[in-house]
Structure 1
């Protein structure tokens, strides 16, 4: 199901948006002398960054952790050439949840809200893998 490329690319774009925002923020912090560029040699300068930049840094890491299982899930479906609209819809819901998680994380960062969306997205991903097994059999 080649249509899965769209939710995959959407999540990749979100990851790059967070990466570029984080990079721009770091450059500004260095130019504003809030942190030394030398602090990034071994990344010990993260603690000196503003809370917002720390949030972006952590969110970027989040976007490279569990979503790897989403990308793999999409690739397995495409390789097996499974045609199932439910799987495509689940993929879009997952990407939407990751977007909501990122918005919460890099804006008002309410841990309860962020954690709830994170847990729900992880549970959804588990359901997606189970649904893949069902569709493949």
Structure 2
């Protein structure tokens, strides 16, 4: 597999995480309705949501914040032929940090652990953007 297209595997993994979070949210919401802790119409405009599904819903929102910058930089690196082994490794590390962040968020929801994992992903994303900037500067 060429290094240039290898950048898309971590992107695919990140997208799969989003799909998994969607499925988990649906499962927890249906479970809350079955358990009687919520009614189906509560989700029409969800202002109050049971905490098991609320944490997943919040995590889903997180998947469209920092990862959006990840998707963009990966595509930009590919389009400008800036993908290297180092970039692919950093991209995978970013995805692993997001997986760990999501896992903590939807299970124990330990804020300090979650915050540290977020910072790791933030820094890795920033590093990808610095690689892109350096690549552009050398073109």
Q: TM-score, normalised by structure 1?
A: 0.91
* Count of residue pairs the alignment pairs up: 134
Q: Which residue of 2 aligns with 1:40?
A: 43
Q: Which residue of 2 aligns with 1:2?
A: 5
Maintained 8 Å contact 2:7/2:74? yes
Q: Following TM superposition, where does structure 1 have runs of at least 4 consecutive aligned residues deviating by more than 3 angstroms?
A: none
1:116, distance to aligned residue in structure 2 (A): 0.8
Q: Are 1:131 and 2:134 an aligned pair?
A: no
Alignment of 1:1-137 (within 5 A): 1-46=4-49, 49=50, 51-136=51-136, 137=138
Residue 33 (structure 1) shift = 2.1
Matched position secondary structure for 1:64: coil
CA 1:56 to 1:26, structure 2 compared with 1: closer, same or farther past 3 Å? same
Three-state SS of the structure 2 residue aligned to 1:44 is coil
In structure 2, list runs of 5 or more residues that go unmatched. Answer: none
Matches of 2:66 and 2:31, distance apart in 1 = 29
Query: What is the rounded CA distance, in whole Å, between the counterparts of 2:69 and 2:88 in structure 1?
Result: 15
Q: Deviations over 1:54-95 (max 9, x none)?
A: 211111111111100000011101111224111111100100
Q: Give the TM-score, by structure 2 length.
A: 0.90
Shift of 1:30: 1.4
Moved more, 31-40 or 84-93: 31-40
Alpha carbon RMSD of aligned pairs, Å? 1.2
CA distance, structure 1, for counterparts of residue 92 and residue 100 of structure 2: 12
Report how far residue 34 of structure 1 moved. 1.4
**Distance in 2 separating the partners of 1:83 and 1:64:** 23
Kindly indicate whether the alpha-carbon contact (under 8 Å) linking 2:90 and 2:128 is maintained by their aligned counterparts in 1.
yes
